[in-house]
Amino acid sequence: MPATIPFKLITPAGVVFDGEAELVIVVTTEGEEGILARHASLLAALRPGVLRANVAQGSASERLELATGSGFVQALPDRVTVLVDEAVRFEDIDVTKAREELAAAAAAGDRPAEEYAQAKLRLTGH
């Protein structure tokens, strides 16, 4: 099994994930950033998008994908911490509501809300 790194994903509502990850991919304001164990120190602002991580589940690996809002990532050689406004798993997304959120955000010119709604729809395949 590849090397893992402690990974914590936190929203204002609480801890969404706290465990070990082989790889964490976040959407920064500069593009996607992949983080592995022993990554160089990094502090970056995050845009709304789809966070992907290969997380350790016993001796196996499982793919974790969440639509996330704006926030920050801190990657250190020995841990990764992601702080975001919102994070939602595939099974918790209401496609109809996400489409309504997308339309309202586009009409209001709210780019972060529009990107978050797009991320939710992308995660569901719509």
- Full pLDDT tens readout for the chain, 126 residues: 678 999 999 999 999 999 999 999 999 999 999 999 999 999 999 999 999 999 988 778 899 999 999 999 999 999 999 999 999 998 999 999 999 999 999 999 999 999 999 999 999 888
Tell me how crowded residue 2 is: count the other CB atoms within 10 A of its CB.
Answer: 10
Give the C-alpha distances (Å, rounded to integers) separating 3 from 10, 56, 63, 65, 119: 23, 10, 16, 20, 29
Which long-range CB contacts under 8 A does 94-97 form with residues at least 24 apart? 95/121, 95/124, 95/126
CATH topology of domain 5-89: ATP Synthase; domain 1 (2.60.15)
Quote the pTM value: 0.90
Q: How many CB atoms lie within 10 A of CB 83?
A: 15
Domain residue spans in the chain? 5-89, 92-124
